[in-house]
Structure 1
Amino acid sequence: MTAPAAEPNPPSAYGGASAQSGGALRRTLSFRDLVVYGLLFIAPMAPVGIFGTLQAKSHGAITIVYIVATLAMAFTAYSYAQMVRVAPQAGSVFAYARVGLGEGAGFVAGWMAMLDYLLIPAVAYLFSGIAMHSLVPSVHQWVWTAIAVVVTTLLNLWGVRTAAAVGFAVLAMEIAVLVVFVVAAVWVLVTDGARRGWAAPLTGEGDFSMGAVLAAVSVAVLSYLGFDAIASFAEEAKETERSAGAGRGRLPGAPAWVARAVLTCLVVAGLLFAVQTYLAALLAPMTAGELAAEPAAQGDAFYATVDSAVGGWLHDLVAVSKAIGAAFAALAGQAAAGRLLFAMARDRRLPGAMSKVDADSGVPRRALLGAAVVTLLAAVWAARQDAGLDHLSSIVNVGALTAFALLHASVIGWFWVRKRAAKPGLVRHVLVPLLGLAVVVAVIVEASGTAQVVGAVWLAIGLVVLAVQHPGRRDRGRVG
């Protein structure tokens, strides 16, 4: 990846952490911490909830779906890795679009990402509440949902290192449960054999259909939303020893670690998804055709597989893991949302009060509390509605996907149009982001009508907010 030719320290050039009186975020996160935040947000067993849906859509070729989805999202991960080196700021795609496309595009990117970062944690909190209610039905799911919000918010307010340490323990638990599933599934396959052909998860049941696989990919890529949150912690990543002596024109160490963490998180998640779906598909009691004919059975298809192949004990273990894991996926999402609000407030795009950094904890406390209030209201409201989960789930993705589209455009804008690299490359800086943009647009087109309408309305509101803001405001997104 090529560094900007004359931008040895980009943050100071366009309003970095020290540019405002609110204070600077503390560089305390290691490479491991960054990967933990990304994997927490994604969740190692994310395919559990949509296993049946993807089996039905892909005609049984679910593992190849996740392999293709990982490759598709790699274009977005690569664009993040390019731009985090250019604009290593807490605002993530907000900062990238500012420097690559200009101030207005930066605001739109941040505004659309805000929709995703505020509502995805609400969905995760609701998943946690539903799972806990199934285990303790005497307590309503909205109460469990609210408890999950309060506990994880307190951890985020305590400090990023504390939240990362607790998150690492939760992630280790989730991976341990996944390992138990893998070992149990392999044992069953060795002793009893598979219910499908060994190649079925890759080739499908019956005739292979690329169209069916691509249709399923448009859903599967949503499992990866969250790896991009790593970039929100760019100002809190530790500098490396290599960067301490970096001279003019060399990249800072922290952005390099963030870029590597984004790519690592995607690869690890892709491997975990492929392994678990391959094993589950071999043991599934219902064929892809049967799942397609019975949509009501799709949501519990993974749990039905575990029950029939291994036993109810593993079902309960997976359910508890999902309940705890969902809450801490929301913790990572809430932390990323707080950093986005902080960055936009620091740039005077949101109320300035949210640009303050707490002196004791080193976190943007007011921005975190603002994000927590919104997610609490959305999650509790949904938990009290019969179709609340469907309503929330249908609209959380368009914001992130629109921000991804602007991210890819930013790579082209910074490196190719504005020629801010010593040697801009046609493949790296044009072809790869164009392919990523094509994937994102295809997924948006496949999104539900409700999601498209909500995304359009949210975009329209953002454009109105942008129009009424001070027209003569200095364009700080134009570096150099």
Structure 2
Amino acid sequence: MSDTQTTAGATGDAGEERGLRRSLGFRDLVVYGLLFIAPMAPVGVFGTLDARSHGAVALVYVVATVAMAFTAFSYAQMVRVVPQAGSVFAYARAGLGSGAGFVAGWMAMLDYLLIPAVAYLFSGIAMNALVPDVSRWVWTALAVVVTTLLNLWGVRTAARVGFLVLAMEVVVLLVFVVSAVVVLARDGAQRGWLSPLTGDGSQGAFTLSAVIGAVSIAVLSYLGFDAIASFAEEVTGGAHKVARAVLLCLALAGVLFVAQTYLVALLEPVSSAELAADPVKQGSAFYDAVDSSVGGWLHNLVAVSKAIGAAFAALAGQAAAGRLLFAMSRDRR
């Protein structure tokens, strides 16, 4: 691994100490975290959440952010006590013993394997939809090769390229926000201005159980911010930077998710009751709302951003998996 060198760390067979080169700054950690989360993660699940929450989709993300804050705070505390690569593996091993660490490490490994696999596939499908002449498997393979080469090149190089991709995603999100605000100011909202927080009323009165049921799906949008803790041995300036990055990533993701779901809910011409009655519409609900209110050009822009963003979310997951395997193998687990 190009970023591995002899530093303070665990002891190997020959008695030497092995660790990781400290080359990441605070910004790099935030970039990795937001890449894995993806700034426009709600796009694919918006319709499902809108239907399940009776239209209170922005409130769903407010509650989900608060719920995930407990996990983020826990990671922030643990990374200060156990500033090692491996994240939950290192924490469980230090706090509960080697057996618990072994189980936690391999469970986390499933997370870091399956999420990138799905992200790569989504990237291929999305690009194929935009360029049908090229097979989705070609796009998927291209995404795997490019991101793997970047990770092999080195964590700093991957972080720099990731920053550019993240900036692109944020710009697209800002374009959406500005376009949505212009349309709302010009034409007004399709639903009540408070409906994304209180429900649209099409399925009856607002219920807390409907919101909580949707929250159980919405928390999937936050998967990945915990991966920042896997870089604890590669950050300069101490573990407190990792703790701050974990908390900041969650806060930024929460703001972005609430803002975009609030706006698209106001643009949504279909009621939550209609979405609930027709599950097929739920998957494309975000794009349908954008198409009907702003235009197809923004749909295509968001689709390209999501396709590229998914590949680089996989890059972050792949990097986190590498650190987890490094930590577990170093400890012979």
2:248 equivalent in structure 1: 264
* Alpha-carbon distance in 2 for matches of 1:67, 1:140: 39
Show CA shifts across 1:235-271 (max 9, x none).
00012xxxxxxxxxxxxxx210000100000000000
| Residue identity opposite 2:278 in structure 1 | E
Q: How far does the alpha carbon of each residue in 1:76-134 deviate from its partner, in whole angstroms, 9 at most, with x for none?
A: 00110110011111111000001111110011110100111011000110110001101
1:165 maps to 160
Instruction: Report if aligned partners of 1:29, 1:238 keep a CA contact under 8 Å in 2.
Output: yes
The reply on whether 1:174 has 2:166 as its aligned counterpart is no
The answer as to whether partners of 1:22 and 1:346 remain within 8 angstroms in 2 is no
Which has the larger Rg?
A: 1
Count, aligned residues: 321
2:52 partner letter: K
d(CA) in 2 for partners of 1:171 and 1:271? Answer: 16
1:19 Cα offset (Å): 2.2
Q: Does 1:220 align with 2:218?
A: yes
The one-character-per-residue Cα deviations of 1:368-409 (angstroms, maximum 9, x if unpaired) are xxxxxxxxxxxxxxxxxxxxxxxxxxxxxxxxxxxxxxxxxx
- Which residue does 2:28 correspond to in 1? 33
Deviations 1:36-75 (A, max 9, x none): 1000000000000000000000000000000000000000
Q: Is the 8 A contact 1:16 1:89 kept in 2?
A: no
- TM-score for both structures, normalised by structure 1: 0.66
The equivalent residue for 2:54 is 59
Q: How much does 1:136 deviate? A: 1.3
Aligned to 1:400: none
8 Å contact from structure 1 (residues 177, 318) kept in 2: yes
Residues of 1 paired with 2:134 and 2:331: CA distance?
Answer: 43
C-alpha RMSD of matched pairs (Å): 1.1
| Structure with the larger RCO, 1 or 2 (CA within 8 Å, 6+ apart) | 2
Equivalent residue for 1:156? 151
How far residue 140 of structure 1 moved from its aligned partner, in angstroms, is: 1.4
Residue type matched to 1:268 in 2?
Answer: L
Q: Provide runs of 4+ in structure 1 moved above 3 Å.
A: none
- 1:19 maps to 11
- Once residues 292 and 265 of structure 1 are traced to their aligned partners in structure 2, the CA distance between those partners, rounded to angstroms, is 32
Shift in Å, 1:23 = 3.3
Aligned letter for 1:44?
Answer: P
The alpha-carbon deviation at position 327 of structure 1 amounts to: 0.4
Provide Cα deviations, 1:178-199, integer angstroms capped at 9, x if missing partner: 0000000000000000000000
Structure 1 residue 16: deviation in Å?
Answer: 6.4
Give the whole-Å Cα distance in 1 for the aligned partners of 2:102 and 2:147.
28
Map of 2:278 onto structure 1: 294
Q: Confirm whether residue 78 of structure 1 aligns to residue 73 of structure 2.
A: yes
Q: Is the 8 A contact 1:124 1:330 kept in 2?
A: yes
Task: For 2:67 and 2:11, locate their aligned partners in 1 and report how far apart those are by CA, in whole Å.
Answer: 37
The corresponding residue for 1:423 is: none
Indicate the SS of the match to 2:125: helix
User: Could you tell me which residue of structure 2 aligns to residue 49 of structure 1?
Assistant: 44
Contact kept in structure 2, 1:52 and 1:299, CA below 8 Å? yes
User: What letter matches 2:11 in structure 1?
Assistant: A
- Return closer, same or farther for 1:291/1:70 CA change in 2, 3 Å cut-off: same
1:211 — aligned with what?
209
Give secondary structure in 1 for the equivalent of 2:140: helix
Separation of aligned partners in 1, 2:39 and 2:124: 19
Contact 2:8–2:18 at 8 Å: present in 1 too? no
Q: What residue number does 1:236 align with?
A: 234
TM-score by length of 2: 0.95
The residue that corresponds to 2:293 in the other structure is 309
| Distance in 2 of aligned mates of 1:278 and 1:327 | 26
Contact 1:155/1:163 (CA < 8 Å) preserved in 2? yes
